[in-house]
Amino acid sequence: MYPPTVLPRQNGTVRAGGILTPRRGLQTGWALTTTGRLFVPVALLVLAYQRGGTGALAATSVALAFIGAVVSVVVGRLGDRTHLAHVLMGVVCLAAASLVVSMIAAVLEWPLLVCLAAGTMACGLLATYRPLQASLFPWLVHTPRDLASANVAAIGIESAASLIGPLLAGVALLTTTPDRALGVGAACVLLALLPVAAVRLPESYGHRERDSTQRGSFLAGLFVLFRLARGGAFPALAGVQTFARGALNVLLVLLVLEDLRVSEDTVGWLWAAMGVGGLAGAALGSRILRVARLLRSFAGGVFLWGVGLLVLAAGSSPATAAMGMFVIGVANAIEDPGLFTSVPRLAPKEMAAQALGAVEIVVCVGMALGSAAAPGLAAAIDVRPAIFAIGVGVILVALLYWPSLSRMDRATVVTDASTSLLAEVEVFEPLPLVVVEHLATRLTRNDYAPGEVVVREGDAGDTLHVISAGRAAVSVAGSPRPELGPHDVFGEIALLRDTPRTATVTAADDLTTYTLHRTDFLTAIQGDCAPVETLASARLRRDGVLDP
C-alpha cells in the first residue's frame, strides 16, 4: 500500500541532478503524455475513417474504450508488485514505441489493423499515467504542502492539455496528413521519456507495506451502484451519457467529413471547443455545486449533454457545431463532480471504492456500445438525425430521473451550525465548500461530563474529534499538555499515521465534540492535507515522537 500521508523529510526527494527533480520530471512527463494522449485519438479516428470507412472508425472508438480499461487493471496490479518508477518508465516506453509503430505503419501503408492496434494500445497505456502519478507523488515531496501543490498542478496541467492536445491536432491535420500527424503525438511521448527518467524514489520505498488487492468486488460494486438511487439512476444516467460520448467519437468525424464537408482539421478544433467549455463549466461549477445540489448537478449535466447534441445536430456550419461542443464541455464539468462526489457519499463506507470502480465499468461499456451503434444509426437515418436522436434520448433519461434525484437532494440535511463549525477549523480551510458541507452531514455529536475520558493513549482510533463547546485536558505519558477549546481538533494523528492514540484527552468541563470517521476524513483531505499534517507533525515534535 502506498502511504496515505507524506513521509518525513529524511525520506524525501532524491534529486536527479540539475534542475530536474523527480517531482518536476513526473509533472513534465504528465504534461507531455497527456497532450499526446489527447492528440492521438483525433488523428487516429480521422485516419481510420479515411482508410477503412465507418466500420474502422467505429472499431477504433470501441478499442479506445476497452483497451484503456483493461490496461489500467493490468498496470494497477503490476504496480502493487513492482517498483512504481520502473512501471511508469515501462508504460511510457511501450506507449512511445507503439506510437512510432503506428506512425510507420500508416506512412508506409501497412495493413490498417497494425496502425490502429498500435495507436489504441498507446492511448490505453498513457491512460495509466494518472493513477501511477498519484501513487508516486507522496514519495517525491518533502512536506504535505508540497503534496497539495503537486496535486493542484496536476489538475492544471490536465486542463491545459485538454485544450492544447486537440488544438495541436487541428494544426497538424491542417498542415499535413493524418498518418504524418501521428508523428506529433509520438514526438510528445518520446520527449516525455527524458523527464520520466528523472523519477527516482528514496530507499524507504523498498520497505513499503503492501495491501492485498480485493478480488471479485466489481459485481458487488455494480449492485451497490444500482441501489444508490431509485430505478438504478446512477448507472442509467452514467450509461446514457457515456453511450452518447462513444457515439460522438464516431459521429463527429462523419459530421465534419460527410455532412459539413470541411477539412479534417476541423475535428481537432471541435474537440478543442469542448475543452474550452470544460474550463467554463469548471468555473461555473465552483459557484453552483453544493451538497444539497449534487444529484441535480449530475442529472442536469446529463441533460445539458443532450442539449449540446441537439445544438450540434441543428447547425449547418462549423461555428454552430463548435457551440454544441462547447455546451457539451460545460455539461461534462457540471456532471462529473456531481457523480463522483455523490457515489462515495451515498455508498456504504466499506463499499465506496467498489462502487466507484463500478462507475468505471459503466463508462467503459457505455462508450463501447455507443461507438459500436453509431455507424448503424448514421446509415439508417443519416448523421445529423442520429446525433439528434441520441440527444433526445439523453434528455428524456435525464428528465425521467430528475424528480427522484431532486427529492434525494432536498432530503440531504446540511445544518448551518455544523458547516460553520467545520469552516472555522483550520485543518478544513483549504477544502471546497461542497466538501465541507458533505462532511457536515457525516458528523456525530458526543457529549462528555467533566472528568470523562474521551480518548485514551494507546487505544486504537478511527475518529477525529472537533470541539464545539467546552474545554479538554490533554496528557501524554501522564505529563500535561496545553488544553484544547472550541474549534480545536484531536485524534488526527491516529487517523493520518494509522497508529494508536498518542495522548489521553479528558473533558475539563462540559464538553461537546463532533466526530468524523476515518474514511470520510481521509477521503476529504486528499490533495489538501497540508494543514492537518502540519498540525499532527507539530504535536508529535512537541511530544518528542518526531525529531525537531
Domain count for the chain, please give it. Answer: 3
Residues 355-385 pLDDT 10s: 777 787 888 889 999 999 999 999 999 999 9
Of the residues 347, 381, 411, the one at which a domain ends: 411
Dist CA 218 CA 220 (whole Å): 5
- Residue 403 domain-assigned? yes
Of the residues 171, 206, 241, the one at which a domain ends: 206
Both 52 and 192 in one domain: the answer is: yes
Both 161 and 198 in one domain: the answer is: yes
Which helix (H) or strand (E) element contains residue 465?
strand 463-469
Both 446 and 345 in one domain: the answer is: no
Could you say which DSSP state residue 504 is in?
E
Both 245 and 262 in one domain: the answer is: yes
CATH number at residue 339: 1.20.1250.20
Both 287 and 379 in one domain: the answer is: yes
Both 401 and 420 in one domain: the answer is: no
- Residue 4 domain-assigned? no
Cell 518536476 locates to 24
Task: Please check whether residue 265 is in contact with residue 173, taking contact to mean a CB–CB distance below 8 angstroms.
Answer: yes
Which helix (H) or strand (E) element contains residue 489?
strand 489-490
Residue 340, pLDDT above cutoff 90: no
Q: What is the mean pLDDT of residues 124-130?
A: 85
CB atoms within 10 A of CB 449: 9
- Residue 3 domain-assigned? no
Both 177 and 291 in one domain: the answer is: no
**Residue 178 sits in which domain range?**
13-206
Both 21 and 134 in one domain: the answer is: yes
Both 329 and 405 in one domain: the answer is: yes
Query: Of 80 and 227, which is predicted with more confidence?
Result: 227
- Residue 8 domain-assigned? no
> Residue 459: CB partners within 8 Å, gap ≥ 6?
500, 501
Nearest to 112 by CA among 53, 62, 177, 68: 53
Both 139 and 252 in one domain: the answer is: no
- Residue 256 domain-assigned? yes
Dist CA 151 CA 240 (whole Å): 30
pLDDT score, position 121: 94
pLDDT band at 283 (very low <50, low <70, confident <90, very high): confident
Of the residues 206, 224, 244, the one at which a domain ends: 206
- Residue 1 domain-assigned? no
Nearest to 262 by CA among 315, 220, 207: 315
Could you say which DSSP state residue 319 is in?
H
Both 386 and 311 in one domain: the answer is: yes
Residues 160-208 pLDDT 10s: 888 899 999 999 999 999 999 999 999 999 999 999 998 887 665 665 5
Both 305 and 400 in one domain: the answer is: yes
CATH number at residue 513: 2.60.120.10
Task: Please check whether residue 240 is in contact with residue 231, taking contact to mean a CB–CB distance below 8 angstroms.
Answer: no
Dist CA 384 CA 382 (whole Å): 6
- Residue 352 domain-assigned? yes
- Residue 2 domain-assigned? no
